[in-house]
Structure 1
């Protein structure tokens, strides 16, 4: 970059520190990010900030992405570049902000781990020998049976259950939506066992389905801790949390049924794209559908 370009960059950082009063952390990040942009200009070579085009910013960000930068870091770099060019626009040093409509590549969403059927059988068939374990087993069976979120299970009331019909109602799911879910036979049995114990040993004032020995609703953190304790007591080394049971429910159901819409409804997702990300589609099944359905994929007879 020429001396005028370097001076404009220095003035920007001064304005950022003195007038905007940005934090020291922000200033250092912007300095580092714009230093990378300066190197890109030197390599091209580009000597004036006004000469950078939309395609240059896109190429620079793509290069940074190839070097392993996360989506979050690239978003910050773009923010720094946009701020700098907004400053140049105010000073009359450029006519456009070349970073204005460029977005960082989206970060791939990490899927939570799932348990296979054998692992879940080991978890749920370990046996319950106390009041709390009977309650805990009912909770874990229900997680896997109906694919509940942790918040949804904690919020369940006795009146939300219809055991003769093997269903339950989630009154307020994510986004304030309600839904009716099936309850599997194993979960029904576990819940019935818990309700028998609850009626005898727990005060009947609290409407919650799952309560402590004091008769108060079991909170989300307590449910997580009970699952950790269950795994430790049953000799299960892997760290298992409630979300893994919900995810396993979705994955196993989808692998067997291949009905994405049904799984979407059961999970309470408002957008099917969330279900596609959240679950593991059986690639072999998709490949078979492709071979059968796509007119250019069918193999020619020998």
Structure 2
């Protein structure tokens, strides 16, 4: 009996110690994630003007207005999906191409890896401001370089057709290095025996990539795609600093629209409803990618 009691006491002490070790993490998670998330759901059911500090419970009125009475929301959602639809495949394809090119031992490979990864650790605000200057109509560096070969560049950030392309490309260049590193790590875990066996069977480079390398990279591709999709839907700094949602709302994405309604129109309740909608859109796309991956396995 004494032995059993002492064992239970030791188990209790170990459990208590375990909870004590993870309690700071749980406290931080509750305060900075669960708490604000619950608060946003609560605010979304109110009509709260931050200037008057008056909050009125309106139930699902904000959601009804977003889905049925606000045509601007659908334009914003369309812009968000266009941004994500352009950024995600370009980012994944470019990061994979860079990883394949730099997954070799040659002189200076570390320098090239560092150069492509450097924008990731660069401040997003600084990156966007620099590109804003580079993409100016006449004095921008991009158009000046195009003029050297006889091409008149457009006003990249002031023409609706080019503004979205500009923010997508600059965002890809900012973050492609991170996905490149993830692909590099995955490529270096693939045994060379597969490649050598395929070469002996007469397979060319494309066949090796399509039938061996790409399938083995599937788990990494899933993680990269999910992270990139989530990041593309909550992009804010690039839009705020480069276009302010313009021109003609061509780059007005959902994250910036939430900021606009909350801190320019001071409609905190309505902005919270938009944030909840963005949360469920992101969650839905993430689950869809996960389920598609499971079905193809």
- The TM-score, its normalising length taken from structure 2, stands at 0.25
Tell me: higher relative CO, structure 1 or 2? Use CA pairs within 8 A at least 6 residues apart. 2
* Structure with the greater alpha carbon radius of gyration: 1
| Higher helix content, 1 or 2 | 2
